[in-house]
Copies of this chain bind each other. A is one copy, B any other.
Amino acid sequence: MMSKKILFILLAITCVNYKSIAQQKSNPLKNDNNLFSAGFASGFIGGLYDNWYPYKELEKHGNFGLGAPGHLDGELLLLNGKIYQTQSTGKTTLVADTGKLPYAVVCFFKAKKVYKHAGALSKTALYSYLDSLLSNQNGIYAIHITGKFKSIKTRAFPPVEKPYLPLAAMLNRQHFFEHSDITGDLVGFRIPTFMEGAHISGYHFHFLSEDKTAGGHLVDLNMENITIEIDTLTNYTMDLPQTTDFNNFDFKKDRKEEIKSVENGKKQ
């Protein structure tokens, strides 16, 4: 009788243990408050477009974020662990996670605060409204916005070949897309000033339509009836490309103006 009781207790403990191990083994690096970056922003923007970081590894560090495909073949967005690519043709597709990429920024998104806004908002008004919500000037925020876009303008770069030019030297190659009365998601971040260089400071969003057929890097918008989910992050990890091109990259050059022009889609 006693041994059956012990048997039962041990069986229960064993099951619990296996569950714990499975959870930990499946994702030993999981940190809900970490902003993970594969690549260094000013290096990527300066022309490091070659693939080096496996999608499979990226999934260990986040299910939400944005990035770029190899050779700058459009724009990437991660939402609910799925990866979407918008090419310069406008074509938007679900990406298999078997390949690699040159640059991505991700986190495990958990909404810590949710806000609703009924009225119409331009991009400037949206950013002002977000500024009023995100009170910590030195905080890292992950931001997920869903709602109806009266209009939205996005962009994507066409694929490029070596020798690569800096993004800022290729702004005339951007393809722009304009959509009206479309529902969808904005996935992005607000990065504090002191992270400029490692990241792109300020707001940075990529778009995905609800039907997953349109997307791209956000350039402009007018929207209404939106839901804003905010996650606050407390640390960040930079995984640096172990490539000859990265090792030889000249970081001494001041690339702040390049970063701003690329972010806004136009020369400063």
Enumerate chain A interface residues (CB-CB to B < 8 A): 3-4, 6-7, 10-11, 13-14, 17-18, 20-21, 24, 28-29, 31, 34, 40, 42-43, 136-140, 192-195, 197-198, 234-240, 242, 246-249, 251-252
Known: A21-B20, A137-B247, A237-B236. A42 touches B194 (CB 8 A): yes
Extra pairs beyond A20-B21, A137-B247 (19, CB < 8 Å): A3-B4, A10-B11, A10-B14, A13-B14, A13-B17, A21-B24, A29-B29, A29-B31, A34-B237, A43-B194, A138-B249, A140-B240, A194-B197, A194-B251, A234-B240, A235-B237, A235-B239, A235-B240, A236-B237
Least Cβ distance of A33 to chain B in Å?
9
One complex includes copies of this chain to the number of 2
Least Cβ distance of A101 to chain B in Å?
16
Residue of B nearest to A201 (CB): B251
Give A11 to B3 CA distance when docked, in angstroms.
Answer: 12
Give me 23 A-to-B residue pairs in the complex whose CB atoms sit less than 8 angstroms apart, sorted by A's number.
A3-B4, A3-B7, A7-B10, A10-B10, A10-B11, A13-B14, A17-B17, A17-B18, A17-B21, A20-B21, A21-B21, A24-B28, A42-B194, A137-B247, A137-B248, A140-B240, A194-B198, A234-B242, A235-B238, A235-B239, A236-B237, A236-B238, A237-B238
